[in-house]
Structure 1
């Protein structure tokens, strides 16, 4: 349990709300030490012990650490003074320096969770800017471990790249699952069977990777020289990895543009 007071601006949205629910459910934050802003001042999270306020500056004034769980385009009009505070930003594309300049925060953490926070399976990379005490770093790590796993990265640019990798959440698996199902249907497989088969590959079979090395699994399947090996060879010849790399670079480029996008 942490003793600092944590405020979440956007704490009733899907991302901020998921984090708020998790830290309360796991007892990371004592009742009354979690403050969330909400225009109406009324939300079910209050029944779980969160303190609701209607004014963002009031939240900042009452918090030791402030989490910004708002859309990037709303940041410019946020208008908060976080002098002496640590601000944790969940916004893509807005640099730590820009956040510090606008909020006067003494330290800024940029973090990039994904949609899997809803099932407490997100991977959240985070980067610290400014003088961040070890206790605050521990707090950041613990908050994001409530919704999955987390790791500190050494360079801020890594956050922009990872926004296009782990930050996309289920997007890439969803694309693969859709492609597999569509191709099966084009081959004449009934739609319901195609969907079940594709879901089994992406959702069920991929769970084997939780305890196995991915490259070793690929090598073993290729060495078997069977059906799977033939399919993998075609994907390799089609520059599958290169396409993934270009996709990630394109996403990272958008993240790096930030407010100019």
Structure 2
């Protein structure tokens, strides 16, 4: 396990990584945080004795073996300007849409650069994180947070990145179901509670990797039943094609 980890950009993902590395863990790494986002960094440093807020981003780099860059892509020029990263470091890039070549040019370093797609569930050490290229130190880090999934090339990485972009669509789908129930006269808090319970059960079912996703769907349907009716009338060929085209367009931009 890496002993000294720096995180530049402590938003939702940065915070989730800190929680996953520290909460309930016996062997704690030293973690160094960039000072931006004072409320979050102060809270984390107070909660975990192994977490320290640094004077600036260069201080984060200088104290760390592995540096995780988690700033918002639109803020990367400001956050990384003038940063000196030598070849002794390993840099983990979790910025969506920022390729390895672009980041290497920005940093002007020959240090190993690894892209990764950690999700908020790394907080509970339950999320598989896609990485490219495979690197033993980085893969071991994310194995500790739920599992690493190294991929063959950046093209494959972009496909997984596009899939990740469907996450909030799922939440919006659930919110739409809740809003529909409310329009039928169901109290919104009851609809919200039921929808959460319904799809938390789906999440647990997904843990059964002995059945394909198509098989799971079939196992939850009765021929000519209500589940089949909604699937075939709402999620029809046109709907499926529209989703595929949206993903195609996003993948093209990511390339």
Q: Structure 2: state its 5+ residue gaps.
A: none
**Alignment correspondent of 1:82:** 85
Helix, strand or coil: the match of 2:172? helix
Who is 1:180 aligned against?
177
The 3-state SS of whatever aligns with 1:122 is: coil
Q: For residue 77 of structure 2, give the secondary structure of its aligned residue in structure 1.
A: coil
By how many angstroms is 1:223 displaced? 5.9
State the match for 1:92 in structure 2.
96
Partner residue in 1 for 2:113: 108
CA contact (8 A) 2:122 2:146 kept: yes
Which digits, 9 at most, give the CA deviation of each residue in 1:43-85, with x for residues without a partner?
Answer: 2443421233212122222322211111111211212121212
Q: Does the aligned pair in 2 maintain the 1:222–1:232 contact within 8 Å?
A: no
Q: Does 1:241 align with 2:240?
A: yes
| SS state at 2:32 partner | strand
Write the deviation string for residues 70-107 of structure 1: whole angstroms up to 9, x where unpaired: 11112112121212122111101111011112211421
Gapped regions of structure 1 (runs ≥ 5)? 257-261
Aligned residue pairs total: 243
Which string of whole-angstrom CA distances, capped at 9 and with x for unpartnered residues, describes residues 108-127 of structure 1? 10111223334443332111
8 Å CA contact retained: 1:8, 1:67:
yes
Supply the RMSD in Å over aligned alpha carbons.
Answer: 2.9
What is the Cα deviation at residue 235 of structure 1? 3.3
1:15-55, Cα deviation, whole Å (9 max, x unpaired): 2122123223334643xx33222156972443421233212
TM-score of the superposition, structure 1-length normalised?
0.78
Q: How big is the shift at 1:189? A: 4.5
Q: After the TM superposition, which of the residue ranges 99-108 and 202-211 deviates more from structure 2? A: 202-211
2:22 alignment partner in structure 1: 24
Match of 1:123 in 2: 128
